[in-house]
Structure 1
């Protein structure tokens, strides 16, 4: 992992209210966990940026160190690491994710 990849990840996280580091794209997720994460965000009407970690090995490895979280996808809201698809699903089911997105203005009312 390089300082360059950490800097690029920080810039992406800081520049977007909601960003999902995932495998593939929202239209063509490349794993079930990324697909589920996109489905949750779409269902909540979230306006989010996505980063395909398969396109950049530096980001793919760097994001795991950046968050100290071993798996992808990874969701960030307002610069804060939220979690992977399991945590997103739990937060979705309890309404916590919708509340968080509403509070940040990242989801449609």
Structure 2
């Protein structure tokens, strides 16, 4: 089931460009990292869950790219843009081969089940 997103017909034409361009630099930065790396972890300082995800990947000897965007009080608008883009409400956001797999606990389950290794196999 797709998540609801306000359709363009319900956005006044005068603000469509502002909406389309709002904080898109950070979204493009994450998209570029996802295109360039098999595993990308998007996180923030002082949050233990991005650190947990990185430790899980290090322990599994899986190379990954880490992008950190501020802490609880800084860069929250940038992080909010990422949340709006993905629909994922928390950090980290972990992408495997371009697919959002969730957060640290979701990563742990995929590692434990062996599904992560299967996802990383060449097509």
Report the TM-score range of the alignment, normalised by the length of the smaller protein.
0.7 to 0.9
- Helix, strand or coil: the match of 1:70? coil
Determine which structure has greater relative contact order: mean sequence separation of CA pairs < 8 Å that are 6+ residues apart, divided by chain length.
Answer: 1
Unpaired runs of 5+ residues, structure 2, are: 1-21
Look up the match of 1:5: 26
User: 1: CA distance between counterparts of 2:24 and 2:92?
Assistant: 21
The answer for unaligned runs of 5 or more in structure 1 is: 25-29, 105-109
Which structure 1 residue ranges, 4+ long, deviate > 6 Å from structure 2?
Answer: none
Contact kept, 8 Å, 1:44 with 1:98, in 2: the verdict is no
CA contact 2:44–2:50 (8 Å) conserved in 1: yes
Distance in 2 (CA, whole Å) between partners of 1:11 and 1:99 is 23
Other-structure match for 1:94: 113
TM-score by length of 1: 0.75
TM-score using structure 2 length: 0.68
2:49 matched to 1:49? no
What is the Cα-based RMSD across aligned positions, in Å?
2.3
Aligned to 1:71: 90
Change in CA separation of 1:78 and 1:59 when aligned onto 2, cut-off 3 Å: farther
1:37 aligns with: 53
By how many angstroms is 1:23 displaced?
2.0
Deviations 1:23-78 (A, max 9, x none): 23xxxxx2221121111111111111100121772542222122110000011112
Paired with 1:23 and 1:43, the residues of 2 have a C-alpha distance of: 20
